[in-house]
Structure 1
Amino acid sequence: MIQTHSSFFSSRSKLEESDERSSITLATHAACFQTIGVYRGTQVHIRKPKIKSVSVDRKLLLELKQMHYITSPNLTRLIGLCTEVDSICILTEHCSRGNLQDILHNESIQLDWDFRISLITDIVEGMNYLHASPIHTHGRLTSTKCVIDSRFVLKITGFGLDSLNKVHRNTDVTDNIYTTLPELVWMAPEHLRVYPPRKCSQPGDVYSFAIILYEMCTRNEPYVNEPWYISLDDTLQKIKHGRSRFVRPTLNESDSFPDIVNLTKCCWLEMPEDRPTFHSIRRVIRAIKMKRNINPTENVLDVLLNRMEQYANNLEGLVEDRTQAFLEEKKKSEELLYQVLPKSVADQLRAGKSVIPESYSCVTIYFSDIVGFTEIAAKSSRFRKVVDFLNGVYSCFDTIIENYDVYKVETIGDAYMVVSGLPERNGNDHVRQISRMALDIVHSVRQFTIRHQPCTPLKTRIGIHSGPVCAGVVGMKMPRFCLFGDTVNTASRMESSGEAMKIHISEQTKLLLEQDNNFITAERGTITVKGKGLMTTFWLIDEISHQMDIVLL
């Protein structure tokens, strides 16, 4: 490990390397991927050049010495260089809050202009120091090279060690000093026009800074929102050949802070000699801060506290919004869960308890289906019409059952199953609840109109039976509350052996209704029921109180 402190050569210390996502605290979902390692108990950022070996010569040692003497708070500190063959890597200070591009593209973070100017000031201070240092230029400046440390201070990284960049460049003539093709957007036009691109220059850094200012103003990627944008390659070609009419991103004063817009346009002028230096840009930024009543000589601690307050306000608002969204989604999930499972059963599952199967001495089960559903579906020109038809019918049924103490077990195709008396026991009221519900459904079906077949009357067939059942939750992935027992089968046979627009009930249900003495029934007679043999069954005609209401009306 070649180090930048004490002496350049020392024994290679243990370097623990791991890939982690460096998250931005104030934007819980914004993150950038970095290669992070631990060197002497401190987290460091690891950059791996695309080279297999490096020659430790006088020039490289001089560059390391120059990097060692960098003391600007707005430039990242070089930790050291690992020169092991096939494991060449550069260790720099790790900034845990991510990079500027992450923050600008995260819409959940609100950035006022005072805060943006503060970030711009950090960039200008860092670049001004760098241009005055022996390193002289950056050459690779982009918004991803502007990183935020744990104290919310913006620092510039990726500068220096030009000999490594030259080695990298010479290994493949198609490569350049920028690591990826999209980063060429930040490169000055005069450098793009040379193949392979020239090393760097101070006016070129100013141009790169102008593209970052565009991002600060619009919070958009450069060029992608232009009406003429086709691809990155096409854009780079336009920039290269735009000598007479140079190509730049569209930036309007009305959409951004006017002083920053004017500064941006000066920094990306076509002729390098026309662009301002960072020393003069520093004076412009100080004037802008005074114009906005921002003290240009403000104490560093005050600046830090202001930034932390800004971040805290953003985080507080973000947490409040996310909490509200979470509560709304939780409410929707609970409502959906209560529709799939009975409330008492759902609450037990949510509490992490197992639902023990129970037996019920007597409940009433309702089955119904649509008569002639196959013919209706066959006459429908589109399958969507069939789905809309079923949705309309069962939405009508669902509205009705909300008025009764019943639980909808399931719908399968055109079959509809409802039960009363479980999971909450209600004495013998279950037979009255199901009977009244069935009468209401028959009445609603008579008034229902099939939209795509208005001349076809809707008919339903209903069967009801009362008796003992067992019930429990079945399944883990999609748990269902299921009923078991002969009562379920008998109720299904009552429906299948019934007639259209009639409510077919068993003798057991009839005996329970007689206790109420409020329903009108008619004996159907003895019939053969599949799987049950001979059974005496009845028709449920109406409710006496319901008839009296009609007479009074």
Structure 2
Amino acid sequence: MCASNKVIRNIMLVADEMGFNNGEYIFINIDLFSNKQTLERPWFQLDEAKEKNDRARKAFESMLTVTATKKDSQEYRQFSEEVRKRSVQMYQKDVYGDEVNDYVGSFHDALLLYSLAVNETIQAGLSPRDGQEITKRMWNKTFKGITGLVSIDQNGDREEDYSILNMNPEDGVFRVIGNYLGRQKVFEKVEGSPIFWPGNRTDPPPDIPKCGFDGKGCPPKEKLPVSAFVAVALSIILLIVLLVVLILYRRMKEEAELSEVHWRVKWEEITSPNSELHMDRVGSMHSLVSHHASFDTLAVSETGPRQIFTKTGHYKSTVVAIKTFDRPFNSTKPLLISIKKLRDLTNDHVARFIGVCIDPPNQSIITEYCQKGSLQDVLENDSIKLDRMFKFSLIQDLIRGMCYLHSSDIKYHGNLKSSNCVVDSRFVLKVTDFGLLELRSRRSSHDVDSFAYYRSKLWTAPEILRMEDSRKCADSTSRINLYEKSHGDVYSFAIICQEVVHRKGVFWVRNVENISPHEIYLLVKSDKKPCFRPTLLQYGDDSDDTCADDLCTLIQKSWTEDPNERPEFNQIKNSVKRMNKDMGGGNLLDNLLSRMEQYACNLEGLVQERTADYLEQKKRAENLLYMMLPRSVATQLMQGMNVKAEKYESVTIYFSDICGFTSLSALSTPMQVVDLLNDLYTSFDVIIEKFDVYKVETIGDAYMVVSGLPVRNGLLHAREICRMSLKLLKEVKSFKIRHMPSDKLMLRIGVHSGAVCAGVVGHKMPRYCLFGDTVNTASRMESNGEALKIHVSPETKATLDMFGTFKLEFRGPVVMKGKGEICTWWLMGEENPEFPELSPAEMHL
């Protein structure tokens, strides 16, 4: 029992009223939270009457209490005192009372363990934010904590010590009679503390009470009267009458159910997102990564290098698998009985049959849809890691499904293969595509003698292959007797097991390559000895692709040539149970957790891969955006912020174009013009990366650059633009036109400094644009310039004079449209030891 002290006390009082205090029963209470006072006298309630407390004390003689061992070291007592002091300081009262809860010390040790793991992670050169690495360093660790020696096992669980308390009936106090040491995994009795068994017993109560749990084990004290025998006889007669009525009622009910059409599914009741069913060519393997909400696919077989997928749709808000058939539907009694048998099947390892649609031309069988696709899909997907336990769990699921199928009214499968075993979202294997042979095409829509036909026969037992061949009939399997079909399922099961163990495809044969399904078909069907079977590799190393000796023996028995020597599925199930115990996997919960852990690891790997892809694409998108907009502006847009227009008091703008570009374009093809501009501006872009400038735009042969925004740089903008202009001019002089290598480009450059406003214009394809008279003046400087010269305005010249390194030549007054007469300058070069290539002498070479 594990509950509050009040609930436990009420349970023990009720047990006392029912006579469970006779010494034949022991109650075990797990109490990890109560303080020492409560643990010593759990039966006592201050607000209860003495009579009731005495009854509770008597009842608690039949109870043992399991609790965490109390810490009593000097260090822990000092720690408790410090906790009380801080409680008074922080809350103005001692919130713990006489005893500090053990969990306070545990929290302290948990934080200490985390700190040790973080320190080790940092010492290993790893990130302290890497939770996975920190967690690994918490496992298999032992250290001294405030609660004593703390030991964490390889699963991350603490190996705690526990105490067993027993009440002394003389004083009613529970005392420790033994301790379980979690780290040593031993139980030690406390000397001088005997166990007081209830009912004045000297030994533990027996496993079964003397008269049984229902009291019927002891003979009655008095003989039954005659009236009792008469009552028994009448009861038997009444039971027989009721049984006959029940049999008649069941027969009538079965006839009524057969006449009903609950199994029928109307085609218009099946919907899809597009209101039209279609074949989706995205393989069912993809469902391991993602599922779209209402339409997916399910692999049913293979045709050479690609898979065939069944239709899926929505029926009553559930995704279902739709498998069409082309045979006419005749509502005969045997067929209706078969449908009823399928509808009655209920098992976790058998795909649920939903119904049949008989509306031409959409005649189809509707079954449960499993998101992970077929077992064949899972085995052929290398991204899914399956260890031995996971594979063994899949085989166990298959055995459970076939055991249920063989014990049901269906009796057999008849077409068992890995593509007819499906896996749901919880990685539970289910058997599908059985029953209704009257509707299913035994050729599986494959032409006889085709690759797909022989591949579909790789799971079929040799005796059935010989019968099919001898009868020369496509539907011969329907006339094979039940005994042969059930033993044929065992053979198919063995082939699937080999497929699961090695994950190398169906009927893998070691050191044999390029063997076709037709050749395997002929070898299996022949009577040659030894019989031809796939390869089984037994344990020889630590690889997960080998087979345990017991499992190998079971598989070999299951595919033996003589059907009479093959075990039945109930025998296979018992054999696998024994194997599971030998492997230490008897706990169903442990197996389920192991399966979910494997599934989580697969998902974690897929999530990490997709996350890396996402981050890479995000980085590329951001880099592309940074090429189109200033980084600060792009960052604001990505954060969903509105970029407000901003005024910049002092910037320098560069304009350039190519003189004679119109004539050059007329002598070139459009593609040659594109190649020319691409080569030129690519070389320009490489140069401007070296300066504190921002490329605003290119329009045809025009090239516009600005410095001093969006990040202000004082008066350095004029220096950066002019140095860049000299570099670009030098680059143009050595530039070669691909289709006109003898011609030279005549670049004309204009530079002006002043105030502008800048902001993002538009929502679709937004652009970072400059506005103001400074832009117009810079454009006029370029249009009134000369080829292979840098035309500088007086404002820019005044800023350059502050640096004292630039050499300018006075041009004189120039009349500009809308500006009047302006005295301008030519930039000849820069006398700077750091840039010798920009000297006037070098620029005029």
Q: Per-residue displacement from partner, 1:178-211 (whole Å, max 9, x unpaired)? A: 9x99587323473886553543645765458636
Shift of 1:29: 3.3
Between the aligned partners of 1:268 and 1:459, the Cα distance in structure 2 is 87
Shift of 1:308: 0.8
Q: Per-residue displacement from partner, 1:144-195 (whole Å, max 9, x unpaired)? A: 4322235431111111122232xx67xxx994799x9958732347388655
Where 1:115 maps in the other structure, the secondary structure is helix
Q: Does 1:146 align with 2:421?
A: yes
Q: Does 1:35 align with 2:312?
A: yes
Where 1:523 maps in the other structure, the secondary structure is strand
> 2:815 touches 2:821 (CA, 8 Å); kept in 1?
yes
Shift of 1:311: 0.8
Shift of 1:36: 4.7
Shift of 1:345: 2.0
Q: Does 1:341 align with 2:341?
A: no
Between the aligned partners of 1:265 and 1:363, the Cα distance in structure 2 is 83
Given the alignment, which residue of 393, 396, 401 partners 1:118?
Answer: 393
Shift of 1:342: 1.2
Where 2:395 maps in the other structure, the secondary structure is helix
Counterpart of 1:58 in structure 2 is 333
Q: CA 1:185 to 1:276, structure 2 compared with 1: closer, same or farther past 3 Å?
A: farther
Given the alignment, which residue of 768, 792, 805 partners 1:505?
Answer: 792
Q: CA 1:386 to 1:547, structure 2 compared with 1: closer, same or farther past 3 Å?
A: same
What letter corresponds to residue 624 of structure 2 in structure 1?
L
Identity %: 40
Between the aligned partners of 1:23 and 1:176, the Cα distance in structure 2 is 21
Please give the TM-score of this superposition, normalised by the length of structure 1: 0.72
Between the aligned partners of 1:277 and 1:382, the Cα distance in structure 2 is 79
Shift of 1:417: 2.2
Where 2:320 maps in the other structure, the secondary structure is strand
> 1:121 touches 1:285 (CA, 8 Å); kept in 2?
no
> 2:791 touches 2:825 (CA, 8 Å); kept in 1?
yes
Between the aligned partners of 2:822 and 2:534, the Cα distance in structure 1 is 84
Where 1:196 maps in the other structure, the secondary structure is coil
Between the aligned partners of 2:827 and 2:357, the Cα distance in structure 1 is 89
> 2:284 touches 2:377 (CA, 8 Å); kept in 1?
no
Shift of 1:108: 3.5
Between the aligned partners of 2:818 and 2:794, the Cα distance in structure 1 is 16
Q: Per-residue displacement from partner, 1:325-380 (whole Å, max 9, x unpaired)? A: 33333233222211211123212221223334455555322133567889999999
Between the aligned partners of 2:565 and 2:659, the Cα distance in structure 1 is 84
Q: CA 1:36 to 1:307, structure 2 compared with 1: closer, same or farther past 3 Å?
A: farther
Shift of 1:80: 4.5
Q: Does 1:313 align with 2:601?
A: yes
> 2:746 touches 2:787 (CA, 8 Å); kept in 1?
yes
Shift of 1:489: 4.9
Where 2:621 maps in the other structure, the secondary structure is helix
What letter corresponds to residue 628 of structure 2 in structure 1?
V
Shift of 1:549: 7.6
Between the aligned partners of 1:228 and 1:501, the Cα distance in structure 2 is 71
Counterpart of 1:210 in structure 2 is 495
Between the aligned partners of 1:257 and 1:343, the Cα distance in structure 2 is 53
Counterpart of 2:100 in structure 1 is none
Between the aligned partners of 1:275 and 1:211, the Cα distance in structure 2 is 20
Q: Per-residue displacement from partner, 1:409-465 (whole Å, max 9, x unpaired)? A: 234565432112333444544323312322344455667788999998887543223
Please give the TM-score of this superposition, normalised by the length of structure 2: 0.50
Counterpart of 1:409 in structure 2 is 696
- Using CA pairs below 8 Å that are at least 6 residues apart, which structure has the higher relative contact order? 1
Given the alignment, which residue of 591, 595, 603 partners 1:303?
Answer: 591
> 1:464 touches 1:494 (CA, 8 Å); kept in 2?
yes
Between the aligned partners of 1:238 and 1:219, the Cα distance in structure 2 is 18
Query: Bigger radius of gyration, 1 or 2?
Result: 2
> 1:420 touches 1:430 (CA, 8 Å); kept in 2?
yes
1:391-410 maps to which residues of 2 (within 5 A)? 394-410=681-697
Q: Per-residue displacement from partner, 1:474-521 (whole Å, max 9, x unpaired)? A: 444433223345544553454455445432223443344346555321
Where 1:199 maps in the other structure, the secondary structure is helix
Where 1:162 maps in the other structure, the secondary structure is coil
Where 2:611 maps in the other structure, the secondary structure is helix
> 1:527 touches 1:537 (CA, 8 Å); kept in 2?
yes
Between the aligned partners of 1:450 and 1:222, the Cα distance in structure 2 is 65
Shift of 1:312: 1.4
Counterpart of 2:22 in structure 1 is none
Shift of 1:538: 1.9
Shift of 1:522: 1.0
> 1:450 touches 1:457 (CA, 8 Å); kept in 2?
yes
Q: Which moved more, 1:499-508 or 1:540-549?
A: 540-549
Q: Does 1:196 align with 2:474?
A: yes
Q: Which moved more, 1:359-368 or 1:335-344?
A: 359-368
What letter corresponds to residue 19 of structure 1 in structure 2?
S
Q: Per-residue displacement from partner, 1:84-115 (whole Å, max 9, x unpaired)? A: 77775544445444433443454443223432
Counterpart of 2:19 in structure 1 is none
Where 2:618 maps in the other structure, the secondary structure is helix
What letter corresponds to residue 35 of structure 1 in structure 2?
T
Where 2:439 maps in the other structure, the secondary structure is helix
Between the aligned partners of 2:513 and 2:819, the Cα distance in structure 1 is 75
What letter corresponds to residue 480 of structure 1 in structure 2?
R
What letter corresponds to residue 290 of structure 2 in structure 1?
H
Where 2:759 maps in the other structure, the secondary structure is strand
> 1:5 touches 1:68 (CA, 8 Å); kept in 2?
no
Counterpart of 1:185 in structure 2 is 455
Counterpart of 2:827 in structure 1 is 540
Q: Which moved more, 1:416-425 or 1:272-281?
A: 272-281
1:89-168 maps to which residues of 2 (within 5 A)? 90-131=365-406, 133-165=408-440
User: 5+ unaligned residues in a row in structure 2: which ranges?
Assistant: 1-252, 274-279, 298-310, 479-484, 840-845
Q: Per-residue displacement from partner, 1:218-266 (whole Å, max 9, x unpaired)? A: 466999xx9869xxxxx676677777899x9997969983449989997
> 1:510 touches 1:538 (CA, 8 Å); kept in 2?
yes
What letter corresponds to residue 28 of structure 1 in structure 2?
V
Q: CA 1:53 to 1:381, structure 2 compared with 1: closer, same or farther past 3 Å?
A: closer
Q: CA 1:547 to 1:421, structure 2 compared with 1: closer, same or farther past 3 Å?
A: closer
Where 2:624 maps in the other structure, the secondary structure is helix
Please report the RMSD computed on the Cα atoms of aligned residues, expressed in angstroms: 5.6
Counterpart of 1:75 in structure 2 is 350
1:434-473 maps to which residues of 2 (within 5 A)? 434-443=721-730, 460-473=747-760
Between the aligned partners of 2:444 and 2:684, the Cα distance in structure 1 is 69
Given the alignment, which residue of 608, 612, 617 partners 1:329?
Answer: 617
- Aligned pair count reads 530
Between the aligned partners of 1:513 and 1:351, the Cα distance in structure 2 is 38
Q: Which moved more, 1:330-339 or 1:445-454?
A: 445-454
Q: Which moved more, 1:481-490 or 1:300-309?
A: 481-490
> 2:284 touches 2:372 (CA, 8 Å); kept in 1?
yes
> 1:74 touches 1:125 (CA, 8 Å); kept in 2?
yes
